[in-house]
Amino acid sequence: MNEKPRELRESVRRHYAAAAVQVSEGGGACCGPQPSLGCGDPVAVAELREGERVLDLGSGGGADVLLSARRVGETGKAYGVDMTDEMLAVARANAAKAGAANVEFLKGTIEAIPLPAGVVDVVISNCVINLSVDKTAVFAEACRVLRPGGRIGVADIVAEDRLSPEQRAERGDHAGCVAGALSFGEYREGLEAAGFTGVEVTADHPVADGMHSAVVRAVKPDGDASSAGRSTRP
């Protein structure tokens, strides 16, 4: 990773570490009032079902993981992955307070998910993929950890195709979930290049001129050669 992406990732880490500390002290920050609020409702978008295994990319304070855990029930499991120690501490405290036994929070980046291939049914994310400095790796990793036939349901900030990266940066900074946003076309192309089909990127509501909170859905095809068969269920 060259210096610019490394600096961007570190600025994001510092921003959300500070947000976690603020929340633990009773405050709020980031893309919404709390670190896990994000910009949409990926749990509803993903239409989670009893018994499924779900992974939240950039799980923050763990709210979407805990909601997912309730949706999938005792026979399912909800994972969260986050790179920030402070966020993980908040998430684990929230899980303990909720008495959630079917959750697990993992330290790692969404560009290198610390799970084996083909182990989850659903990947969700709430206003986090736009923060990544390597979205190609994020899409490839999401496809890798999904079982064949698995799906993604994401809420994210997306730019209209008319906006250049420089114009997106004028509308907000990277850590604030704006400057790093992909366009609608780039999002579709990135997911398709990673092997997904049935890609839908649909605007939900505007967040700035030419920038929207969007709902993203896609499916990993059955029998994908990149996966070693069906889920290995860790």
CA gap 222, 142 in Å, rounded = 15
Residue 157 domain flag: yes
Pull the structure tokens for residue 98: 């909720």
* Residues in the chain, pLDDT under 70: 1-38, 172-179, 224-234
pLDDT at 125: 95
DSSP 148-196: EEEEEEEEEEEE-TT--HHHHHHT--TTTTSTTPPBHHHHHHHHHHHT-
Tell if the pTM clears 0.75, that is, is over it: yes
The separation between CA 154 and the C-alpha centre of its own chain, rounded to angstroms, equals 7
Range of the domain at 147: 3-219
CA gap 179, 167 in Å, rounded = 8
Question: Which distant-in-sequence residues (6+ apart) come within 8 Å of 228 by Cβ?
Answer: 117, 118
Residue 224 domain flag: no
pLDDT at 171: 79
Beta bridge partners of 183: 159
Pull the structure tokens for residue 158: 């997306």
Residue with tokens 């510092």: 14
Residue with tokens 């999904």: 146
Residue 225 domain flag: no
φ/ψ of 176, rounded to 5, equals -85, 10
- Domains in the chain: how many in total? 1
Q: Are 66 and 95 contacting, i.e. CB atoms less than 8 angstroms apart?
A: yes
Domain CATH for 70: 3.40.50.150
Beta bridge partners of 78: 54, 103
Residue 231 domain flag: no
Residue 232 domain flag: no
CA gap 77, 50 in Å, rounded = 10
pLDDT at 14: 63
Residue 228 domain flag: no
Residue 82 domain flag: yes
Strand, coil or helix: 118: coil
Three-point CA angle 56, 194, 177, nearest 5° = 50
Residue 58 domain flag: yes
Three-point CA angle 49, 219, 224, nearest 5° = 115
CA gap 74, 103 in Å, rounded = 10
pLDDT at 177: 55
